[in-house]
Structure 1
Amino acid sequence: MQKNPISQNKPAIIKKPFGKLPNGKEVFCYTLSTESGMELDVINYGASLVSLKIPLENGNKVEVVLGFESLSNYINSFSLPSAPYFGTLVGRFAGRINQAQFTLNDKVISLTKNHIPHQIHGGLEGFSKAFWEVTVADSNSITLEYCSKNGEENFLGEVRTQITYSLTEERELKVLMHAKSDQDTIINLTQHSYFNLDGHSDTLVNQELLVNATETLEATSENIPTGKFINLNGHGYDFSTPKKCPTSIDTTFVLSKENAIAATLFSKKNNLKMSVITNQPAVHIYVGGNCFNQITGKENANYLSLSGICFEAQNFPDAPNHKHFPSAILKKGDTYIHNTTFKFEKL
């Protein structure tokens, strides 16, 4: 993947300073927009999605993702009792890896542990705390790139990853991720935004959820997949028809169709629905966002345990340790491709 110069052929993207990292690198916030009124803010710390505003029928706009107004809050959020990973690109491996260990090409790989005794969301630093270079930017699309060195978090291979956020006039946020490695390695990326269609300062209690899945992954008390599947027929997590959003969920839903609607969130308050479409084999759904009264969200919002819902389109957690799960191996020279679209429509 070649690094491209910032585009000069389209209207300029709005770029504003967002703070400096402890190493002195300056982080910027990039605002994308469409003629139909969608607005997206992205920062190059963690390739994080900070803000997404959707126009409503009444002429107003609703802020549908949780986030912070300062870089320091993003940095400090990783020290909360449960780090929220607001809007970040999670990698190299989203979700948990049992005992922070797996075997690749007959070699046991022991990773860093940040969810003792396991690894979660790529380790101690991961992609979510990385400084990403902006390679292409215009009014409705931005591409960021990060080169993960061989041995980072004890993963094998130098992995170069790109993520592109694009807005369309059909009120879609398209997320495209590419990655290549110079050695065989494993990879599982996801976009980790917390959505709330009633507005980021509201709760999820009046919204409904639909998930197009007939199975979930069985997991231990530490949320490590056992390798077994749970049939959702008659189960409390059967969202094959719209139901109230659960007050607590941290579960992987197995998707049967690629590039089809995986899940849909409904807001009667704003007459709005959001569909999640992905080429990934699973969507891990998590309700949360709690900042434990320690960090204030955008517009002085107090984010609590029911503030947002994540749709983590991805491979199965702990896939490298289960031969019957979809392979998470990225072969040397091959290209990992991940597509997820968040589409907003009237009810």
Structure 2
Amino acid sequence: MHYGSLFFLISFLFSSSTMPPPSRSIQRELFGTFPDGREAHLFTLRNAAGMEVKLTNYGGYIVSCTAPDRSGKFENVVLGLPTFADYLKGTPSLGPIIGRFGNRIANARFTLDGQEYTLATNNGRNHIHGGPQGFDKKLWDATPKDGAEPALQLRYTSPDGEEGYPGTLGVTVTYTLQKDNALRIDYQATTDKPTVLNLTNHAYFNLSGMKQDVLNHELMIAADRFLPTDPGQIPTGELRPVAGTPFDFRKPMAIGTHINDTSEEQIRLGHGYDHCWVFQDPSNKLKLGATVYEPASGRRMEMFTTEPAVQLYTANHLNGKLQGKEGVPYVRRFGLCLETQHFPDSPNKPSFPSTVLRPGQTYRSTTLYKFSAK
């Protein structure tokens, strides 16, 4: 054998047996199995900066998401459960895709083009977050996309009449972990019949790394109006100025500053913050909608969106019965949700921005959660 060929062979065998495999920015593993044998998978996305996001194609849940503190230490900042079995039992929407309609629809019914549709009820007499068998309970088709900005594309076809909604709806949701430590979520959908649609994600964030509740988190929302609600938490139709109210987050303010101010009717009705804020810029361009800063860790999150509004929810009904991945009980006020969306109950309020999607149109929406530290 020629010495050059022998050297090549030895080099090949050595490299094949001792060199580590090339690193991948996305990994897939079995998360759990349904009683009928279907499998759900857990996908881990990593970028070069060291950020890591874990997602499952069951419900599109964000299972965990790490972010650096001011010293560069990465910790999980999203509330999540330890096992697939925990998710299968049902959660208070700890990070899934919400659809077909995020938030509430009054009396679980609406009229579209002269026809009334009755939806599943799961919030008293109202419909919330797509119903008891919404998108958070579905197994989505998953396509991982490796690269410098790893992505997970999820697809689901919602049949005509599912949870009462008209039209067969084809939905694609793509999670992308960007180089700049932003988690980008792109939504796209088409329908074969006129329908209503309001997609969002329901992640609970806690920038302390699960060390304490979120009352010291400093929040800014770029909104000068919010939607007051009735006792059933259905918007009254009024767009009320935030000025002079506990809802004024135009300048950063600790979430705990007014959250227990029971002299404010809207705080009482929501048991804290569970309201929709209307952005000063209502356009569908990608704009800064909110920032969150946690002083102890220095972590900062910026939220950008193409949506006209955001629902702030301050975990008013968590009660400590659920325990997270870190073994910490999820108690009241242990997380905050920034659910980018169109207005709640829009199908019943013609003055609100339309959520109607018709055949031939394509629904598109984008939200980014960008992490940094100072």
Give yes or no for contact 1:172–1:342 (8 Å, CA) kept in 2: yes
Q: How does 1:270-309 map to 2 (within 5 A)?
A: 270-288=297-315, 291-309=318-336
Q: How does 1:224-235 map to 2 (within 5 A)?
A: 224-235=234-245
Calculate the aligned-residue CA RMSD, in Å.
1.5
Give yes or no for contact 2:24–2:146 (8 Å, CA) kept in 1: yes
Larger radius of gyration between Structure 1 and Structure 2? 2
Give the match for residue 170 of structure 2: 160
Structure 1 runs of 4+ aligned residues shifted over 4 Å read none
What letter corresponds to residue 277 of structure 2 in structure 1?
Answer: F
For residue 30 of structure 1, the aligned residue among 43, 47, 67 is 43
Aligned to 2:336, the other structure's residue is in SS state: strand
| Structure number having the greater strand percentage | 1
Give the match for residue 81 of structure 1: none
Give yes or no for contact 2:122–2:131 (8 Å, CA) kept in 1: yes
The TM-score with structure 2 as length reference comes to: 0.86
Give the match for residue 71 of structure 2: 58
What is the CA-CA distance between 1:12 and the residue it aligns to? 6.0
Query: How far apart in 2 are the matches of 1:216 and 1:240?
Result: 12
Q: Does 1:109 align with 2:117?
A: yes
Aligned to 1:341, the other structure's residue is in SS state: strand
Q: Deviations over 1:177-223 (max 9, x none)?
A: 00111111000000110001111342112211111100001210111
Query: How far apart in 2 are the matches of 1:76 and 1:343?
Result: 30
Give the match for residue 136 of structure 2: 128
Indicate the percent of aligned positions where both proteins have the same amino acid. Answer: 35
Give yes or no for contact 2:171–2:187 (8 Å, CA) kept in 1: yes
Q: Which moved more, 1:33-42 or 1:270-279?
A: 270-279
Q: Does 1:256 align with 2:283?
A: no
Q: How does 1:1-347 map to 2 (within 5 A)?
A: 11=24, 13-78=26-91, 84-139=92-147, 140-246=150-256, 247=259, 248-257=272-281, 258=283, 259-288=286-315, 291-347=318-374
Give yes or no for contact 1:16–1:30 (8 Å, CA) kept in 2: yes
Q: In 2 relative to 1, CA 297–289 (structure 1 residues): closer, same or farther, beyond 3 Å? A: farther
Query: How far apart in 1 are the matches of 2:52 and 2:224?
Result: 35
Aligned to 1:99, the other structure's residue is in SS state: helix
Give yes or no for contact 2:160–2:168 (8 Å, CA) kept in 1: yes
What is the CA-CA distance between 1:288 and the residue it aligns to? 0.6
What is the CA-CA distance between 1:293 and the residue it aligns to? 3.7
Give yes or no for contact 1:194–1:289 (8 Å, CA) kept in 2: no
Query: How far apart in 2 are the matches of 1:55 and 1:271?
Result: 9
Q: Deviations over 1:237-261 (max 9, x none)?
A: 1011111114421010001214221
What is the CA-CA distance between 1:59 and the residue it aligns to? 3.4
The TM-score with structure 1 as length reference comes to: 0.92
Query: How far apart in 2 are the matches of 1:244 and 1:122?
Result: 31
Query: How far apart in 2 are the matches of 1:189 and 1:200?
Result: 27
Query: How far apart in 2 are the matches of 1:300 and 1:345?
Result: 25
Q: Deviations over 1:264-317 (max 9, x none)?
A: 111111112111110101100001175534332112110011110000000000
Query: How far apart in 2 are the matches of 1:275 and 1:119?
Result: 30
What letter corresponds to residue 155 of structure 1 in structure 2?
Answer: Y
Q: Deviations over 1:139-167 (max 9, x none)?
A: 52110111101110010011011111111
What is the CA-CA distance between 1:138 and the residue it aligns to? 1.9
Query: How far apart in 2 are the matches of 1:337 and 1:170?
Result: 23
What letter corresponds to residue 63 of structure 1 in structure 2?
Answer: N
Q: Deviations over 1:88-134 (max 9, x none)?
A: 00000000000001011110111111112110000110001110110
Aligned to 1:288, the other structure's residue is in SS state: coil
Q: How many residues align?
A: 333
Give the match for residue 4 of structure 1: none
